[in-house]
Every structure is written in C-alpha cells, then in structure tokens.
Chain A
Amino acid sequence: MFDPELIKGFVSDSLEMLDEVEPHIIQLQKEFEEKGIVNRETLNEIFRLFHSLKGASAFLGLENINKVMHEAENLLGALREGRINILAKHVEAILLGCDFIRKVLPELQEKGTDKDFEGESRKVIEELRKSLREGSEEFQEEIPFREAPKEELTLERASPTQKKVKSDIRVDLDKLNELNDLIGELVIAETMVVRNPDLKGYRFENFEKAAHQLHLIISSLQDLALSLRMVPIGGLFRRMIRVAYDTAKRSGKEVELLLKGEETEVDKTVIEAISDPLVHLVRNAVDHGIEPPMERERIGKPRKGLIELEARHEGGEVLIIVKDDGKGLDKESILKKARERGLIQPGAVLPDEEIFQLIFLPGFSTATEVTEISGRGVGMDVVKSRVEELRGWVEVKSVQGRGTTVILHLPLTLAIIDGLLVRIGDYIYVLPLYAVKELFPLDLKEVTYLPGGKKVIKRHGRLYPVVSLRELLGMRGGKSEEEILVLLEQKGKELCLGVEEVLGQRDTVIKPLPKRLGKIMGISGCSILEDGGVCLILDIQGILERVDHGNLKHSKEGGEIC
C-alpha cells in the first residue's frame, strides 16, 4: 500500500490529464474526417499524456490501470507511426479507456488500489485490441507488455517539447480561507488605528497620508487574496467537448462545439457547483435544440449544428452562455404543457421571457426527458435551483427556428456577497441585494390585519405579505419599530420584510456560522463589520420558508385588487 498522499496526487493528476486528453482526441478525429490530415503534434501530446500516466501507474503498482494504459498506448503508437488511419472507432476505444480510468479513480482514492477492476479492465483491453486489429490491414503482432522504466518518465517530463510550463502550486483551500480571515482582521485593525478615539479632534497631515497609503495596500492585498480562489473556466469548458460528442453520437446529431472566453476566471467553488448544470444544458442543446442533419439540410441550415459555449465577465457577474442554432423553444407547446400540468392559469397571457422560464419549473420535463438524463438526476429545475443557490439567475432567449440561448448569471465569487445592510434594534443584518426589489416606508394605512395576526400590504395595486424581521427571527426583548419595508423576491415568491433602518449597500465577506450551532433556517452565514462586530447574512429562500412555517398565507402572484 502506498502513501495516501501519492495516491491522491495520482488521482488529481489523472483527472487533469483526462480533461486535457479527451478534447484532443475528438479534435484529432474531426480534423482527419474533415481535412484528411492527422495533426502530429496533437497526437504526440496525447501519446505523451498516456505515457506518463502509464509510468505513474506502474510506479504505484496499479496493474489494471497500467494494462489499460499500455493497450491504449499501443493503439496510439500505431496511429502515430501511421500504421493505421484514425477512425471514429479508435476514438471511441480510447475514450472507453478514459472512462475506465474515471471510474476507477474514486475507488482508488478511497481504497488505494485498483485490483477490484480486473474484469472490467479486461473488457476495455479487449476493445482497444479489437479496434487496433481492425484498423491495421496487415495484422500487427501484439507488442509485448513492457514496464515503463522510470528514467524514461523523467526524461519525458523534462523534455523541451513540453509546451506548457506549469508554474502553479496546489494550495489547501483552508489555508486560503485563513489568509482571507487574517486580511479581514487587518481591515478591522486598520480602522481601529486610523479612527482611534485618541486621535479625535486632531489633524495629522503626515499620519493621514501614511494611513491612506496603508489603506491602498490593504485593499489590493484583499483583492489579491480573493483572486487566489479564481481559476480559468477553460478546464470545465473542455470537458463539455466530450459531453457534446457523446450526446451527438447517441442522438444521431452532428454538432460543432465552439468555446469562447476559456481564460475567464471564476471562483473554484462556483466552477465545481455548475459542472453538472452545464453538462445538462449542453446535452439539452444537442438533444432538444439541434435538429437531425437531414432536417437541417432540408430547411437550408448547415448539416452540423453549432453550439457556442461562452464565458465572460460583465458588470460584476460572470456570464456563462450556452447558445445553439437549433429549432428554438416552441412557445405554444410550452404553454400547452404548462396548462395541462396546472402550472399556469388557463387564460393567462405571459410575456415571452416568462413563458421560457416555465421550463425551469419542477415537474415540467416530460417523462422521456427524465430517462434521457438518467443517472445524473439533473433537470432544468435543478439547473435553476443550483444557480440560485450560488446567488445567480438564469436567463433564456429563444427564437423559433433560429435557436436558444441560456445565460447563467453568476457572482464572481462566493466569498463575497453584494448585500444590503439593515438594522433591527442594536443589530445589523445583511440581505443579498439581488433579491431586493424595492424599499419603501411602511404606511400603516395600507396594512390589512388578517385573522390569526398575519398582515398584508397594498402596494401599486397588489397585495404582499408583510413580516417583521424581528418577529421572524424570534428576537427576545425590544419591540417592533419597523419603519421601512424591503420587498424581496425569489423564485416568484414575494415578501415585504419590515426593518427599522436601511444602512446601505456593501460588499460583504461571507463567513460560515459555527458548525456546532447546526443549520439555522434563514441564515446563510455571517460577516464581520468594520467595528469588529458580527452581523448575520439572511438567506432569502430560508426566510420565505420561515414565513411558510408560520403558516402565513399569501398568494403566489401577490393577487390583484379590483
């Protein structure tokens, strides 16, 4: 048994290698098909990646991985030497090998061995051999199995042909968080020094200059520390090449995937969280967006469907765009389905945007769609809720016959929230700004008290439930002196929250609540204020649930007043 650290390193290296190799292979086959050429450099790169994985697996005694890699290398070697021509089935066989490794890795990480996969490895090896055999016109003798000498491995690594020089290091996320904590402390300490009560009433010109300099340094330090969590989205995007390839093959479509803005940097945790939703969106675009090649030709579109995957920064958000040139969303059939399922009123007239949003409602997908994406358990409703969990939102645009564009609007980082600071008694709370629709003074004349103590308020001809934040959080002592209402909206639900004062908008660094307190409904975390005090960050979804738990009745739409 090897050092778990070594195994861990092998697992993460392998995952990186697979992410790199899969798009290369698909690219290679595509070029051969279209232009009849084999890009030698790409092929060498693939060969090199497989070879180093093979060497590393031999070193760690991972026999099954090693054998599969050996067989894949044979096939790649034959391709490289021009003994066989690259065909779709070779690509599939190599991808099968990649899938095998992906399957073994989680268990390898857990158990430190790959010996439970012998049967499976044999099947994969058989496939690889078969594709090599069929590919070569004159059957090649099997190249004898040979351990990769270690020297060769280091030589490969150090070879000058290696284009990418990796100068990055892995850092424990805990350490990064600790760094952010300390910088947060530094910000507070700065305030304590610069606004020290002892200085009150004095003016020190030089001191103020120095303090300003300190402030600039601390701000850039804070920005830098946050940027450490950001990684380019390219890795995730390149994984989609494989997804599009597999889906297209299965559904008999021809698809070209175009990647844009691969260098766009996004918080590591955001990337992890949107991986599954993105897979779903790409599959959907291929499956339901792009028409079959014959039909595309018939209506005068190029045979190959085009899917564009784009990432870019825009106004403090990261946009991730999945755009296809397929058949677009059919408004009539969406409306019909929604009516059948009782998701909308029979006579309702909705603007286009709202119609498209219907596809995100739970229970909207048809049964066939559910089996299509089986195994993942991700539907459009999950895409939406996952994005909302990240405090983002989803936009859909579509023109029938021309295509559909899904835009994920995501925050730049999860470490910071754009918040609205409100006050109740002596305490400050933070509301996520994206959920805040409107602020207005509480006018008691507009409030209606329902039996059971619930309240609604009339605003612009609509009724909204009103809840005092103080009561909602069950704060002990003190009495309600709400003066301002904050109109909140999430997932179509609306609520007016009564607070005593609105202190303004601020970017707030999020910290988790102590684990020992457990999960508290309506609180997503906390933050440290400039004076060193702690404020709680409210979670709108949880706040709405708290209201529901109090059996507060209110209509989803807000209700019309005659």
Chain B
Amino acid sequence: MLMERGQKRDEELSNEGGALEKYLTFRVGEEDYGISIQHVSEIVGLQKITPVPDVPPYVKGVINLRGKIIPVLDMRLRLGMPERPYDERTCIIVVNVEGDLLGLIVDRVNEVTDIPQEQIEPPPSEEGGFVMGLGKVGESVKILLDVHKILR
C-alpha cells in the first residue's frame, strides 16, 4: 500500500503535478484551512503592524519584511469571525500572489500536508467566495483557499 502510494507520487511529480498537491495547513477559529504551498513564501512571527486608513477592516495594515512593505490581513476577520487577541502561536504566513507579497495572520500554523486531487471536492455551489475546494485528509476536512481572491 505504502509502496503503491510512493510510486504514484513519483509519477505525479514527473508530470509536474506533484507540487500542486502540497498544502500548508493552518487553523483559524475552529476549522483547518490550507493554501497551496507554491504560493507560500515564508512564515514569520507576529510583529508591530502599522495601520493604514481607508482599507477594509480585515486589512490590519503594513509590515516591513526585510525592506519590503507588505500588507497584512487578519484571517479571522476575513473569514467573518470575531477578532481575538493575538497570542504566542499567532503567525503571519507570507504568500506570493502574482509577484506581490501578502501577510495572512492566522491563529496557528499546522503542517504541510499532501492532499491528492481526487480527495478534493468542490465547495458547495452557492459559496462563491475564495474557497477553492474541500480537501479530505483522513477524518478531517481542510478548507482550501484561493490566495488570488483573498485581497481584492
């Protein structure tokens, strides 16, 4: 069984499909979410955020990432959850969206997980937001987000 999976993965990697299957998973509120690893640039600890006027409430402001100024979004607010104070597990996932960097504040980062394409189901039809699909991993479900649609 394990060998079979390994072989399958190798095949997929050679088809350049392998990278698409890896997701960085993180927790916001009571659910686990995932974003495709190819968009993840790095994970940094929480730092002082400078607020910017006239932006949606979920845009908390900007931070300095080694000389680059990048916007940071609070994923709790973005996902329609109430704010809560940040703690020592709060992290900023820096994602690369078509060359622009974006910070996502999440409650905690979990791990990088393989989710094969056949384990991903499309979101319920009326959802229409930035959920790309629902990935089944064992007993749990990871909500897979489309980073392109997080900040518009």
Contacts and interface: CB of A to CB of B under 8 A. Distances in A.
Contacts of B50: 427, 526, 533-536
Contacts of A516: 71, 97, 100, 102, 151
A516 B61 CA distance: 12
Contacts of B67: 181-182, 184-185, 528
B69 interface: yes
Contact of B52 (A182, A426, A513): A513
Nearest to B98: A516
A514 interface: yes
Interface of chain B: mostly helix, strand, loop or mixed:
strand
B64 A533 contact: yes
Q: What range describes how many residues of A lie at the interface?
A: 20 to 34
Contacts, number: 66
Contact of B64 (A473, A474, A532): A532
A520 B102 contact: no
A523 B51 contact: no
Contact of A511 (B59, B69, B97): B69
Contacts of B57: 476
B62 A514 contact: yes
Interface in B96-121: 97, 100-102
Given A185-B66, A511-B69, A517 B59 contact: yes
B55 A517 contact: yes
B53 A526 contact: no
B69 A534 contact: yes
Contacts of A185: 66-67
Interface in A248-268: none
Contact of A514 (B47, B48, B51, B71): B71
A513 B54 contact: no
A518 B47 CA distance: 23
A63 to B, nearest CB: 39
Interface in A415-445: 426-427
A294 B18 CA distance: 84
Contacts of A473: 53
Contacts of B151: 516
A520 B54 contact: yes
Nearest to B70: A514
Interface string A109-122: 00000000000000
Contacts of B91: none
B98 to A, nearest CB: 10
A187 to B, nearest CB: 10
B63 interface: yes
Nearest to A509: B67
Query: Which of B47, B51, B151 gathers most chain A CB within 10 Å?
Result: B51
A174 to B, nearest CB: 12
Interface string A509-543: 00111111100111100101000111110000000
Interface of A: 181-182, 184-185, 426-427, 473-476, 511-517, 520-523, 526, 528, 532-536
20 contacts: A182-B67, A426-B48, A427-B50, A473-B53, A475-B51, A475-B53, A476-B57, A511-B69, A514-B62, A514-B70, A514-B100, A516-B100, A516-B151, A520-B52, A520-B55, A523-B52, A526-B69, A534-B50, A534-B61, A536-B52
